[in-house]
Amino acid sequence: MADARDAEDSRLLEEGDYATLLATYYPIAVDRLRLRLPDDDAYEVAGNVMLRLLTELTRGKRYPVPFRVVVHKVIEWTLKEFRMGRPSELPLEDWDPETGENPFQAVEQRYDLERLFAELPEREREVLRLRYIEGFEISEIAARLDMTRNAVDQALHRGHRKLRESGG
């Protein structure tokens, strides 16, 4: 699937059809941002992501990584900027397709986990997010969410069960 998406992105970039390219990624940006922000803010940040990408593309910017990876990185940066109230210029990491190592796989995995957790009730979603996306230990989650360690264990168990039942 990623190879087909990358080929289509490359074609649209070569043709200069930025509107179609960005229209493809706008719903993805909104979905991802709605996992972290209220709807109004998610749409505002998604608009800023698309504006930033369009500005770079019209200035002739090209990327050494697949465009889908660029989109997810720009979403992360723009979200950080939005939360911090100030812009930041974060460089893209180098990726050598010939080595077969893809440092951006973690970005895609994080996005997949966020989408998977989105259907869970808020408490289980936050506990699983802190555990599997942020990498917190159970005791750290308990302290951060003002819960007992046992309550965190129970939320993890319920979240795992609900994910299994939903086929996730």
Q: Which two tokens stand for residue 50?
A: 């698309």
CATH for 2-93 (2.40.50, 1.10.3470, 1.10.1740, 1.10.1060): 1.10.1740
As assigned by CATH, the class of the 119-166 domain is mainly alpha
How crowded is residue 70: how many other Cβ atoms within 10 Å of its Cβ? 21
Residue 151 pLDDT class (50, 70, 90 cuts):
very high
**How buried is 62 (Cβ within 10 angstroms: 0-12 exposed, 13-18 middle, 19+ buried)?**
exposed
pLDDT, tens only, 4-25:
888 898 899 888 888 888 889 9
Chain centre to alpha carbon of residue 10: 21
pLDDT at 50 over 60: yes
Are the C-beta atoms of residues 50 and 26 closer than 8 Å to each other? yes
Q: Which two tokens stand for residue 107?
A: 């970005």
Highest mean pLDDT among 11-20, 32-41, 91-100, 148-157: 148-157
| Domain residue spans of the chain | 2-93, 119-166
In this prediction, residues 120-145 reach a mean pLDDT of 88
For residues 2 and 66, what is the distance between their CA atoms, to the nearest angstrom? 9
